[in-house]
């Protein structure tokens, strides 16, 4: 253990940062900023979750009970926007802030002040989104994809949403540039790109995707804004525009966005599985190539979201084939994780449970993804609950479960305290059961013909909607347990073991004490590559 | 031996359950009523079987490993970390499976896109929030009417018990003859809508300012219900589509009667559009009067 402390300079070092609220407003420390990102995304997760429970409460029974149709539409719209831009994406950036410097042996992020700025933009955007519920006309109600001409009809709430998206986009671009620069320039001496932990690799590729597509989103919302207020007609046929143009631009952003939310999840899972299998990751280089292939392919599949919008036959064929191809590198990843577990010496602490739960449910989401890729079938399930079920399998049991896995995995390193293992396991099993209760039945609803984004439904859909609503409330309540576990862990007096996971091999576990000191790796660590 | 038969039995019952789920319409697509819908149904079933096989393969291995390769059982970790042969195999096999999936789908896409030489053509126009139908060509040419939700508002607000076809019933059904190729031309008046009838296997967005088309040939007489599938504002959930398929004689009779009343219907339809702006209830009543007059 003494060797571990060899290059640590925690002793006698004065942190000399302001205290109280000013510490958080002015901080340029990647750990402080990472924590703020994570707390912010947790708050947004509960905001979006509240909206989701509103939706499920309304859909508990047929008929209109608690949400009038217009407000219901605002709930679905803001649920999507808040979860995607407020919860999932900032959470992964929070992980990147904490973990990228620790895992590559860097003292901090490359652009520390920009890092602060890119975080503090988020609360501004979030307040715009949330407060839009209270302006005349209410919040945006055109779906999280805000297709015109419907979104051209909305009131002030739509403009607030547009500005919020602008701000969130700016924040994401800055975060991405920071991550790219850090990874490319600040790795410990001797750490080649192909020596980097997979979490760092997936974030590097994700960051490039962000830089590529966030400006496209900014462009399209700007066009929407000028259509709404300055007399342009980009998306208005009466003025020579085309509503479908919006969909093309939006999904050119939107599909890579899906992978922006899942690639870092692959990274987290690829750290956790080998640690708890006590065995190196199987097929490291094929994992890197698979991640890169998914990222590249994700840029040429966007119109599979628009198969019912009307497209030439060759267009439909191209986008069907390219979409199906994504199954190949994704399959490679799943096979690699399985091979990593094979003949390992596994233990099943909470991070491992969430990681295995992730693989299990993500694969189900992958299957429904391939089914959706088949154009004739997609024509039937497009804009139905089948699609809702599909993307919640990849976003909730995919992205979110990996975030939980990562949080449990690194909480001891971040806080210096161990979380409550029993409660962590409860959190996993409750989430697992209620998640499936909520979303599995939605496949049946979609196949049987229930469209998405409707506040009321035909009687034949009543049973499954009731089951789904019960599951959703169970799932929501189970997440309160997570908050309790985290707070209990942060406030705990008991010190965590120096290295709670004996299979961990990355720098933050081998070269830093627990908890990681406020300033780490002020002198670069000596990195010894392991052969892949 | 006993273990083996238990495993076989369990496997068989899972398969049986899975198949029965696929057949019961509550868990699957509605019973197909056109060639295209049948293709979609069949391909979906085949895909489910392929997915099930892969699922059993992958998770069989993974859960075997989870059960056996545990530290608590004293299992020592191996140290292998790559194998080019294995990696090539599990890249190539999925590619082959995908080709097998794409082949029938490609044929169906080409068939779906072939809207040429229809027996009749109907224009469907999406409005916030109802559908307008114009019979442009073929038997019944010149018929034109609006089709609005006919479920009473009291049912929506839980003041009355909900009827059998709650939210899936309209004042004027779209009536078509059985066995004829019907081309549907779509557009919209305000925002994007989507015209969707699951049993007939078609869904097509209706885009304001543009024309799209699709087609179906209904196999059997009957009433097939669908809904708008693209979020179109407040009452998106309240603009169903009802297609009534009649045999040829009944259709000819319906078309002849409808054509007699067309001129008055057009006027009343125009009135009902204005009414729609002032209030949904009145519009429903106006539309009911409209059909009474006919």
State both tokens at A47: 């905001």
DSSP readout, A433-486? HHHHHHHHHHHHHHHHTPBSS-SS--GGGHHHHHHHHHHHHHHHHHHHHHHHHH
* Domain B120-254 of CATH type 3.90.550.10: no
Report the residue from B47, B59, B95 with minimal CB separation from A371. B47
B2 vs B33, more confident: B33
pLDDT at B10: 65
Mutation target vs A (from B81, B106, B156; most A CBs, 10 A cutoff)? B81
pLDDT in tens, A258-302: 999 999 999 999 999 999 999 999 999 999 999 999 999 999 999
Mean pLDDT of A117-124: 97
**Is residue A33 a contact partner of residue A97, using CB atoms and an 8 Å limit?**
yes
State both tokens at A103: 């895992």
Chain B residues in contact with A384 by the CB 8 A cut-off are: 229
Count CB-CB contacts under 10 A for residue B64: 12
Interface A-B, measured as beta-carbon pairs within 8 A, has a size of 272
Residue whose C-alpha is closest to residue A395's, from A202, A265, A214: A265
Work out the end-to-end distance of chain A between its first and last CA atoms, rounded to an integer number of angstroms.
25
Distance between CA A72 and CA A54 in Å, rounded? Answer: 8
A377 to B167: CB separation less than 8 angstroms, yes or no: no
Helix (H) or strand (E) holding A258: helix A243-260
The verdict on whether A330 is a catalytic residue reads: yes
Mean pLDDT of A169-179: 97
State both tokens at A190: 């001797």
- pLDDT greater than 60 at residue A12: no
Report the residue of chain A nearest B50, measured CA to CA.
A367
Residue whose C-alpha is closest to residue B229's, from B192, B200, B201: B192
Averaged pLDDT of chain A: 94
Closest approach of chain B CAs to the CA of A436, in angstroms?
16
Q: Which of A172, A182, A397, A469 is catalytic?
A: A172
Segments making up each domain of chain B, as ranges: 31-112, 120-254
According to DSSP, the residues that pair with A461 across neighbouring strands are none
Look up the pTM and report it: 0.91
Confidence bin at B218 (pLDDT 50/70/90): very high
DSSP A376: H
Give the C-alpha distances (Å, rounded to integers) separating A275 from A123, A169, A204, A417: 35, 34, 22, 19
Task: Work out the burial of residue A145: count CB atoms within 10 Å of its CB; fewer than 13 is exposed, 13-18 middle, 19 or more buried.
Answer: middle
CATH class of B31-112: mainly alpha
The verdict on whether A255 is a catalytic residue reads: yes
B148 vs B22, more confident: B148
B234 to A308: CB separation less than 8 angstroms, yes or no: no
The verdict on whether A172 is a catalytic residue reads: yes
Give the C-alpha distances (Å, rounded to integers) separating A35 from A28, A119, A121, A424: 12, 10, 15, 20
B77 to A63: CB separation less than 8 angstroms, yes or no: no
- Identical fold, B31-112 and B120-254: no
B47 to A344: CB separation less than 8 angstroms, yes or no: no
**Is residue A158 a contact partner of residue A221, using CB atoms and an 8 Å limit?**
no
Chain B residues in contact with A146 by the CB 8 A cut-off are: none
Distance between CA A168 and CA A90 in Å, rounded? Answer: 10
Mean pLDDT of B195-219: 97
Residue whose C-alpha is closest to residue A396's, from A39, A33, A48: A48
Phi/psi of residue B144, nearest 5 degrees: -155, 130
B203 interfaces chain A, CB cutoff of 8 Å:
yes
pLDDT in tens, A313-355: 999 999 999 999 999 999 999 999 999 999 999 999 999 999 9
- pLDDT greater than 80 at residue B15: no
Q: Which of residues 148-187 of B touch A (CB under 8 A)?
A: 155-158, 162, 164-168
Count CB-CB contacts under 10 A for residue A486: 18
State both tokens at A324: 């199906």
Chain B residues in contact with A342 by the CB 8 A cut-off are: 61, 65, 69, 78
pLDDT at A203: 98
Peptide bond into A402 cis (omega under 30): no
- pLDDT greater than 70 at residue B275: no
Averaged pLDDT of chain B: 87
pLDDT at A19: 85
Residue whose C-alpha is closest to residue A50's, from A11, A8, A86: A86
pLDDT in tens, A386-396: 999 999 999 99
The region of weakest confidence among A105-109, B75-79, B179-183, B239-243 is B75-79
Report the residue of chain A nearest B22, measured CA to CA.
A444
Confidence bin at B285 (pLDDT 50/70/90): very low
Count CB-CB contacts under 10 A for residue A127: 12
Confidence bin at A159 (pLDDT 50/70/90): very high
B192 vs B16, more confident: B192
pLDDT at B261: 75
Confidence bin at A531 (pLDDT 50/70/90): low
A383 to B229: CB separation less than 8 angstroms, yes or no: yes
- pLDDT greater than 80 at residue A40: yes
Chain B residues in contact with A376 by the CB 8 A cut-off are: 36, 39-40, 43, 105, 108-109, 112, 201
Report the residue of chain B nearest A315, measured CA to CA.
B109
pLDDT in tens, A227-254: 999 999 999 999 999 999 999 999 999 9
The verdict on whether A32 is a catalytic residue reads: no
Share of chain A above pLDDT 70, in %: 96
pLDDT at A6: 41
- pLDDT greater than 90 at residue B289: no
- pLDDT greater than 90 at residue B172: yes
Mean pLDDT of A453-481: 97
- Complex confidence, ipTM: 0.91
pLDDT in tens, A62-98: 999 999 999 999 999 999 999 999 999 999 999 999 9
Number of alpha carbons in the 13 Å side-chain half-sphere of residue A174: 19
pLDDT in tens, B194-204: 999 999 999 99
CA geometry: angle A115, A117, A118, nearest 5 deg: 65
The region of weakest confidence among A113-117, A379-383, B71-75, B289-293 is B289-293
The verdict on whether A333 is a catalytic residue reads: yes
Report the residue from A150, A344, A374 with minimal CB separation from B192. A150
**Is residue A489 a contact partner of residue A419, using CB atoms and an 8 Å limit?**
yes
The verdict on whether A16 is a catalytic residue reads: no
Report the residue from A62, A143, A242 with minimal CB separation from B231. A143
Could you write out the three-class secondary structure of chain B? CHHHHHHHHHHHHHHHHHHHHHHCHHHCCCCCCCHHHHHHHHHHHHHHHHHHHHHHHHHHHHHHHHHHCEHHHCCCCCCCCCCHHHHHHHHHHHHHHHHHHHHHHHHHHHHHHCCCCCCEEEEEEEECCEEEEEEEECCCCCCEEEECECCCHHHHCCCCCCCCCCCCCECCCEEEECCCEEEEEEEECCCCEEEEEHHHCEEEEECECCCEEEEEECCCCEEEEEECCCCCCCCHHHCEEEEEEECHHHHHHHHHHHHHCHHHHHHHHHHHHHHHHHCHHHHHHHHHHHHHHC
pLDDT at A18: 83
- pLDDT greater than 90 at residue B103: yes
State both tokens at B38: 């049948």
């Amino acid at each position: 253990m003494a060797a571990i402390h060899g290059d640590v300079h925690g002793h006698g070092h004065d942190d000399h940062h302001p205290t109280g609220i000013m510490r958080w407003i002015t901080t340029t420390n990647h750990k402080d900023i990472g924590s703020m990102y994570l707390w912010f995304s947790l708050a947004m997760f509960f905001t979006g979750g509240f909206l989701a429970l509103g939706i499920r409460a309304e859909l508990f029974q047929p008929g209109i009970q608690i949400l009038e149709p217009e407000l219901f539409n605002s709930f679905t719209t803001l649920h999507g926007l808040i979860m995607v831009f407020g919860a999932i994406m900032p959470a992964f950036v929070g992980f990147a802030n904490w973990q990228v410097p620790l895992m590559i042996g860097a003292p901090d992020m490359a652009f520390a002040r920009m890092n602060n700025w890119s975080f503090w933009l988020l609360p501004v955007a979030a307040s715009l989104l949330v407060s839009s519920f209270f302006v005349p006309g209410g919040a945006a109600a055109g779906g999280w994809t805000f297709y015109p001409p419907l979104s051209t009809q909305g009131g002030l709430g739509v403009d607030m949403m547009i500005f919020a998206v602008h701000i969130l986009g700016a924040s994401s671009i800055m975060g991405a540039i920071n991550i790219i620069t850090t990874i490319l320039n600040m790795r410990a001496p001797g750490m080649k790109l192909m020596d980097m932990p997979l979490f760092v690799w997936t974030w590097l590729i994700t960051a490039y995707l962000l830089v590529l597509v966030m400006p496209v989103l900014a462009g399209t919302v700007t066009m929407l804004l000028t259509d709404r207020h300055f007399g342009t007609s980009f998306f208005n046929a009466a003025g020579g525009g085309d509503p479908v143009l919006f969909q093309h631009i939006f999904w050119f952003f939107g599909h890579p966005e899906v992978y922006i939310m899942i690639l870092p999840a692959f990274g987290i899972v690829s750290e956790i599985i080998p640690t708890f299998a006590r065995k190196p990751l199987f097929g490291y280089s094929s994992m890197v190539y698979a991640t890169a292939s998914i990222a590249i392919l994700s840029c040429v599949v966007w119109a599979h979201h628009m198969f019912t919008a009307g497209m030439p036959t060759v267009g439909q064929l191209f986008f069907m084939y390219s979409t199906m191809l994504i199954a190949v590198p994704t399959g490679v990843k799943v096979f690699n994780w399985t091979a990593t577990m094979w003949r390992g010496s596994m233990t099943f602490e909470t991070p491992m449970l969430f990681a295995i739960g992730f693989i299990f449910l993500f694969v189900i989401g992958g299957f429904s993804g391939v089914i959706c890729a088949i154009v004739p079938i997609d024509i039937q399930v497009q804009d139905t609950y089948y699609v809702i079920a599909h993307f919640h399998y990849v976003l909730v049991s995919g992205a979110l479960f990996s975030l939980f896995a990562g949080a449990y995995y690194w909480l001891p390193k971040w806080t210096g305290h161990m979380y409550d293992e029993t409660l962590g396991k409860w959190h996993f099993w409750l989430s697992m059961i209620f998640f499936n209760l909520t979303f599995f039945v939605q496949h049946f609803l979609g196949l049987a013909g229930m469209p998405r984004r409707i506040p009321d439904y035909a009687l034949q859909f009543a049973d499954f909607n009731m089951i789904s609503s019960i599951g959703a409330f169970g799932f929501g309540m189970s997440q309160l347990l997570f908050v309790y576990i985290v707070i209990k862990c942060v406030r705990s007096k008991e010190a965590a073991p120096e290295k709670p996971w004996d299979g961990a091999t990355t720098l933050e576990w081998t070269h830093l004490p627990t908890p990681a000191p406020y300033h780490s790796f002020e002198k670069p660590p000596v990195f010894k590559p392991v052969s892949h | 031996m006993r273990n083996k038969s238990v495993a076989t039995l369990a496997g068989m019952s899972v398969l049986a359950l899975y198949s029965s789920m696929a057949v019961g319409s509550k868990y699957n697509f509605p019973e197909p009523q056109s060639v295209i819908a049948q293709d979609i149904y069949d391909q979906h079933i085949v895909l489910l079987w392929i997915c099930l096989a892969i699922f059993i393969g992958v998770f069989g291995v993974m859960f075997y490993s989870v059960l056996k390769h545990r530290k608590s059982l004293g299992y020592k970790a191996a140290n292998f970390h790559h194998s080019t042969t294995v990696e090539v195999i599990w890249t190539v096999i999925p590619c082959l499976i995908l080709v097998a999936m794409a082949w029938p789908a490609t044929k169906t896409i080409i068939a779906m896109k072939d809207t040429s030489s229809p027996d009749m053509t109907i224009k469907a126009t999406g409005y916030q929030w109802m559908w307008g139908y114009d019979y442009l060509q073929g038997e019944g040419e010149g018929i034109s009417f609006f089709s609005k939700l006919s479920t009473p508002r009291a049912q929506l607000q839980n003041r009355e018990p909900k009827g059998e076809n709650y939210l899936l019933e309209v004042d004027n059904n779209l009536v078509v003859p059985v066995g004829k190729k019907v081309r549907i031309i779509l557009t919209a008046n305000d925002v994007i809508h989507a015209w969707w009838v699951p049993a007939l296997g078609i869904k097509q967005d209706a885009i304001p300012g543009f024309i799209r088309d699709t087609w179906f040939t209904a196999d059997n007489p009957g009433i097939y219900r669908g809904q708008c599938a693209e979020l179109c504002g407040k009452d998106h959930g309240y603009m169903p589509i009802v297609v009534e398929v009649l045999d040829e004689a009944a259709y000819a009779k319906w078309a002849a009667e409808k054509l007699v009343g067309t001129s008055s219907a057009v006027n009343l339809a125009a009135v009902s559009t204005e009414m729609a702006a002032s209030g949904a209830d009145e519009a429903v009543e106006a539309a009911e009067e409209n059909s009474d007059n006919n």
